[in-house]
Chains A and B, each alone.
Chain A
Amino acid sequence: MSWYLTLPLIIPFMAAIIAYLLRSSPLGAWVSIIGSGLGLIASVVLMAVVLDAGVVAGQMGNWPAPFGITLVADLLSAVMVLITAITGFAVAIYALGDINERQAKLGYHALFQILLAGVTGAFLTGDLFNLYVWFEVMLIASFGLLILNGGKEQIDGGVKYVALNLISTILFLTGIGLLYGMTGTLNFADLALKVDEVENQGLLTVVAMMFMVAFGVKAAVFPLFFWLPAAYHTPSFSVSAVFAGLLTKVGVYALIRMFTMVFDHDIGFTHTVLLWVACFTMVIGVLGAAAQSDFRKILSFHIISQIGYMILGLALMTPLALVGAVFYLVHHIIVKANLFLIAGIAKRLTGGTEVYQIGGLYKSAPFLAVLFLIPAFSLAGFPPLSGFWAKYIIVKATLDLEMWFVAFIALAVGLMTIYSMTKIWAEAFWKPHPDGIEPELKTLPNKAAQIIPVAGLAILTIIIGLNPEPFVIFAERTTEQLLDPTAYITAVLGDPS
Chain B
Amino acid sequence: MEQLLSILIGILVASAVYLMLARNLLRFLFGLILLSNAANLTIFVAGRLTPGAPPLVPDGMDAPIGDVANALPQALVLTAIVIGFGLFAFALILAFRAYQSLGTLNTDDMRVAEPKEIKS
A–B direct contact (CB < 8 Å): yes
Is the pair B47, A152 in contact by a Cβ cutoff of 8 Å? no
Give the residues from 147 to 200 in chain A that come closer than 8 angstroms, CB to CB, to chain B: 147, 150-160, 162-163, 166-167, 169-170, 173-174, 176-178, 180-182
User: Is A180 a contact of B94 with CB atoms below 8 Å?
Assistant: no
Q: A440 interface residue, CB < 8 Å from B?
A: no
Please choose the segment from A41-49, A133-141, A256-264, A370-378 that sits at the chain B interface, where 4 or more of its residues have CB less than 8 A away. Answer: A133-141
Q: Is the CB of A140 within 8 A of B90?
A: yes
A233 at the interface (CB under 8 A from B): yes
Contacts of A139 in B (CB 8 A): 87
Q: Is B95 an interface residue (CB 8 A)?
A: yes
Instruction: With a 10 A CB-CB cut-off, give which of B32, B42, B44, B86 has the most chain A CB atoms.
Output: B42
Interface pair B98/A159, CB less than 8 Å apart: yes
Taken residue by residue from 87 to 107, chain B's Cβ proximity to chain A (1 for < 8 Å, 0 otherwise) reads as 100110011011001100001
Set of chain B residues within 8 Å of A152, measured between Cβ atoms: 101-102, 112
- B113 contact from A132, A140, A156, A166, Cβ within 8 A: A156
Closest B residue by C-beta to A172: B39
The reply on A225 being an interface residue by CB < 8 A is no
Is residue A129 within 8 Å, beta carbon to beta carbon, of the partner chain? yes
A133, B79: Cβ atoms under 8 Å? yes
Distance, CA A173 to CA B28, complexed state (A): 19
Contact residues in B for A106 (Cβ distance below 8 Å): none
**Interface flag for A305 (CB, 8 Å):** no
Compute how far the CA of A160 lies from the CA of B111 in the bound complex, rounded to whole angstroms: 10
Give complex CA distance A177, B80 in Å.
11
CA distance A319 to B28 in the complex (A): 43
Tell whether B45 is near chain A: CB-to-CB under 8 Å. yes
Residue A234 is within 8 A (CB to CB) of chain B in the complex = yes
B98→A176 contact, CB < 8 A: no
Q: In which size bucket is the chain A interface?
A: 35 or more
Residue from A147, A162, A180, A292 in contact with B43 in the complex, judged by beta carbons closer than 8 Å: A180
Contact with B along A292-314 (1 / 0, CB 8 A): 10100000000000000000000
A55 to chain B, nearest CB (A): 25
- Whether A140 contacts B87 in the complex (CB less than 8 A), given A155-B101, A156-B102, comes out as yes
Contact, CB under 8 Å: A159 / B25? yes
CA–CA, A230 and B112, complex, Å:
10
Task: Please tell me if A392 contacts chain B, counting CB pairs below 8 Å.
Answer: no
* B39 touches which of A160, A174, A181 (Cβ 8 Å): A174
Across-interface contacts of B94 in A (CB, < 8 A): 143, 147, 155, 158-159, 162
Take A133-B83, A167-B32, A173-B36 as given contacts and tell me if A181 and B47 are in contact as well, using a CB distance cutoff of 8 Å. yes
Answer whether residue B1 sits at the interface, using C-beta atoms and an 8 A cutoff: no
Contact B35 A170 (CB under 8 A): yes
The answer for the CA separation of A178 and B45 in the assembled complex, in Å, is 9
Residues of B within 8 A of A160 (CB): 110
Contacts of B20 in A (CB 8 A): 167
- Report which of B76, B80, B111 forms a contact with A156, defined as CB distance below 8 A: B111
A contact residues around B110 at 8 Å (CB): 156, 159-160
Contact B39 A129 (CB under 8 A): no
- A173 & B90 in contact (Cβ 8 Å cutoff): no
Least Cβ–Cβ distance between B40 and chain A, in angstroms: 8
Determine whether the beta carbon of B97 is less than 8 Å from that of A150: yes
Instruction: Find chain A residues with CB under 8 A from B101 CB.
Output: 150-152, 155
Mask: chain A, 11-53; 1 = CB below 8 Å from B; 0 = not: 0000000000000000000000000000000000000000000
Q: Which residues of B contact A156 (CB under 8 A)?
A: 98, 102, 110-114
Residues of A within 8 A of B55 (CB): none
A294 to B115, CA, bound (A): 9
Q: Assuming the A-B contacts A133-B83, A136-B87, are A155 and B98 also in contact, with contact meaning beta carbons closer than 8 angstroms in the complex?
A: yes
Report yes or no: A153 in contact with B87, Cβ–Cβ below 8 A: no
Q: Which of B1-54 contact A (CB under 8 A)?
A: 20, 25, 28, 32, 35-36, 38-40, 42-48
Let me know if B114 and A230 touch, CB within 8 A: yes
Residues of B with C-beta under 8 A to A294: 115
- With A140-B86, A140-B90, A159-B25 known as contacts, the answer to whether A173 contacts B113 (CB < 8 A) is no
Q: A150-B97, A173-B39 are in contact. List 18 more A-B contacts (CB 8 A).
A: A136-B83, A140-B90, A152-B101, A155-B94, A157-B113, A158-B94, A159-B98, A160-B110, A162-B90, A162-B94, A163-B28, A163-B91, A166-B87, A177-B43, A177-B73, A181-B45, A181-B48, A294-B115
Query: Lowest 4 A-B CB distances belong to which pairs?
Result: A181-B46, A177-B43, A156-B112, A177-B42
11 A–B contact pairs at CB < 8 A?
Answer: A129-B79, A140-B86, A143-B90, A150-B101, A153-B112, A155-B97, A160-B110, A180-B46, A180-B72, A181-B47, A231-B113
